[in-house]
Amino acid sequence: MFALPLRDNAELRPLEIWHAEEFAAHMDRARDTIRPWVGQSFVAEGVEGARGTLGRYADRRAKDAGGLWGIWLDGTLVGGVLFAAFDAAAGSCEVGCWLEPDARGRGLITDACTVLVDWALIERGLHRAEWQCRADNENSVAVARRLGMTLEGELRETWPYEGVRHNQQIWAVLADEWRARRRTA
């Protein structure tokens, strides 16, 4: 329906239920490398699992409570960005991402997250955009920094993965900070 160009033959598009087969194939390529870093319910297995994940985000989008967009590189789905939470009444959202290893290092996530934060804080008028990640996820922490977010705190042992509890960081940028940063960029 629409696509926003990012860079390097990459574009950002809505990721919808009818993409279930493509999303399932993408998850097969990405699963092992993203599983430690994203919520368990996100990592779909098979086409029906992909439909379930995509359906949950379609429902959130319909309720103005979230959303999911894919990143296509040379016509192949390689990752995406999302509003894990979106609360217009409270004026806040949580942005997240994932990416296949072969697509890393191109700035695609930073570009796509910038689109989401711009839309949330400028277009929709939200006050705050958050970023939550495992404290040991260096790639995710680097994106939060590139987005100009501030580390607000670290929650101890809140992220369970394979029997181990990991610390979780919360980063955020406020609308005034974002607008000032965008003016100087």
* Per-residue confidence (pLDDT) for residue 43, from 0 to 100: 76
Confidence of residue 1 (pLDDT cuts 50, 70, 90): low
With a cut of 70, say whether residue 7 has pLDDT above it. yes
Which residues, 6+ apart, have CB-to-CB distance to 124 below 8 Å? 88
Q: Is the pLDDT of residue 167 over 90?
A: yes
76 membership: H or E segment, kind and range: strand 76-87
Domains of the chain, residue spans: 4-184
Global confidence as pTM: 0.93
53-102 tens-digit pLDDT: 999 999 999 999 999 999 999 999 999 999 999 999 999 999 999 999 99
Helix extents (H) in the chain = 20-34, 46-62, 108-118, 138-146, 175-184
Q: Cα(49)–Cα(130) distance, rounded to whole angstroms?
A: 27
Domain 4-184 has CATH 3.40.50.2300: no
